[in-house]
Chains A and B, each alone.
Chain A
Amino acid sequence: MTDIENLVVQMINDDKYAFNDLMTIYYPKAMRLAFLISGKYADSEDIVQEAFTSCYINRKKIKEPKYFERWLYKIISRKAWAYSKKAKREQPAPEVFEENTPDSFSLADSVIDSIENKEIFNAVMSLPIKQRTVVVLYYYNSLTTKEIAQITGSFEGTVKSRLHNARKAIKKIIESSENSYKQEVPI
């Protein structure tokens, strides 16, 4: 049994110190995942806070400690979806029909140096949230389509199809970006 698994077992047995250690270990990963899914840095802290709270309250439901991380990702994803749904409800009516414009775009501008990476990141952030979740879990968390299906509560076929469509959309963006770049460069 790994150290993490030991901590998870202790947490299941009501040990809050072990839970505190798990929070320390997973906080950075959780924050980054919450941000990449929600696209909003401000929401990420709330999502992580709610996810950790839910994690401890539902600790007795953990059947296999070795899958704790996957279980945590599932909670974070669901919380991020809930925040996204809530944000849509709170938008004034005309904005609901506009493109997704999370604050990740401005953040991307400040932290991503390469124009191409910015384009790709904006393309990922423009995907519907469930498709974006699949992309993030696959490319950032390096999970398999089967594992993602379990986390998102969908069929593996749906995960594959979402990945395929996302790739297609991103490819189009990259190609169009390259074409416009070529046109701008005098021969």
Chain B
Amino acid sequence: MRKNIIDNKIKETLNITASKIEVNKNNMEITKRNVLHNIEEAENMKKIGFKKTALIVASLCILGSITAVAASGFTMTVAHSFLNEEVKSFEQVAEITEKANMDLKYIEKFSNGYEFKSAVPVYGNYEDQETGTSSPQWTDISITYENKDGEDVMMSVSSVLPPMSENTSTENYNGIEIGYFSYNALFVPPTYELTEEEKALEASGDIVVSYGTDKVEKEFIESVSWSDNGLNYSLMTQNGSLGSDGLTEMAKEIIDK
């Protein structure tokens, strides 16, 4: 059979089949609407979202799960927030906690001068990269406080993510264990290849790697975490000067609320 006869037969078959594929106008409109909605969501997603949300997850997770945020394992924790859902007035925090159905403790101002700056719901879920399945989405709350020098402390509250279990020190306050933990975080772009030295540091637990930033950044992270009335709290600061004592005192003020 000549080559051009086969060519013509294949061409004819594909054209006939394609011409009979129903292209429904209603479906087209639905697709277009979904596409525009997806784009809007992507555009509203916080530009700084990855690092901040990775820190929220990391500050609440056990060490093993922190590594999972790096998206290199079979199971990962995915979290994202939307710029248009961020509130900047203290009164509006109640709206987002209500929407998230979370009865959490929070204050407007700490005695060390840190004051409410902003709050945002953070949507999280677990994904299994092997099977492509994901857990139902849950909502956490993140509240940022700022001092007069512009240093931030981020409070994260989750009913799902477990509290830190590898604390370097703990203090019992009115029956609640407040644990302190610090670590060196390395934020790298998604395609970044760790150096041999970084691989060794990661293996020994001296750095925690999170993939997703535009450039390589190193941060010293300190956090305190505790559980209160079914919710897991953490207060976290980057490269700050609060230390274990400063953060623990802030935790006590939240517990006392």
Interface residues of A (CB under 8 A from B): 16, 20, 23-24, 27-28, 31-32, 35-36, 41, 45, 48-49, 52-53, 56-57, 86, 89-90, 108, 111-112, 116-117, 120-121, 124, 135-136, 139-140, 167, 170-171, 174-175
A168 to B130, CA, bound (A): 36
A1 to B32, CA, bound (A): 26
16 contacts between A and B (CB under 8 A): A16-B36, A31-B21, A35-B18, A35-B21, A49-B34, A52-B31, A53-B35, A53-B39, A89-B132, A90-B132, A111-B21, A117-B9, A124-B10, A124-B14, A139-B7, A170-B10
Residues of B within 8 A of A111 (CB): 16-17, 20-21
The residue from A49, A52, A167 contacting B3, defined by CB atoms under 8 A apart: A167
B31 touches A49 (CB 8 A): yes
B13 interface residue, CB < 8 Å from A? Answer: yes
Secondary structure at chain A's binding surface: helix, strand, loop or mixed? helix
The 8 closest A-B pairs by CB, nearest first: A111-B20, A32-B18, A140-B14, A120-B13, A28-B23, A52-B35, A53-B38, A117-B13
A20 to B131, CA, bound (A): 34
Closest CB in chain B relative to A93 CB, distance in Å? 12
A136 to B32, CA, bound (A): 25
Residues of A within 8 A of B39 (CB): 16, 53, 56-57
B171 interface residue, CB < 8 Å from A? Answer: no
Closest CB in chain B relative to A178 CB, distance in Å? 9
Residue with the highest number of chain A CB atoms closer than 10 Å, among B11, B13, B27 = B13
Closest CB in chain A relative to B112 CB, distance in Å? 42
A36 to B17, CA, bound (A): 9
CB closest chain-A residue, reference B132:
A86
A112 to B156, CA, bound (A): 59
B9 touches A174 (CB 8 A): yes
Q: With A49-B35, A49-B38, A90-B132 given, can you name 12 additional A-B contacts, CB distance below 8 Å?
A: A23-B31, A35-B18, A45-B31, A53-B39, A56-B39, A57-B39, A108-B17, A112-B13, A117-B13, A121-B14, A135-B10, A167-B3
Closest CB in chain B relative to A55 CB, distance in Å? 9
A53 to B41, CA, bound (A): 11
CB closest chain-B residue, reference A113:
B16
Closest CB in chain B relative to A86 CB, distance in Å? 5
Closest CB in chain B relative to A52 CB, distance in Å? 4
B21 touches A32 (CB 8 A): yes
Report if A32-B131 is in contact (Cβ < 8 Å); known contacts: A48-B31, A171-B6.
no
A120 to B15, CA, bound (A): 12
A10 to B32, CA, bound (A): 18
B203 interface residue, CB < 8 Å from A? Answer: no
Residues of A within 8 A of B38 (CB): 49, 53
Residues of A within 8 A of B14 (CB): 36, 121, 124, 135-136, 139-140
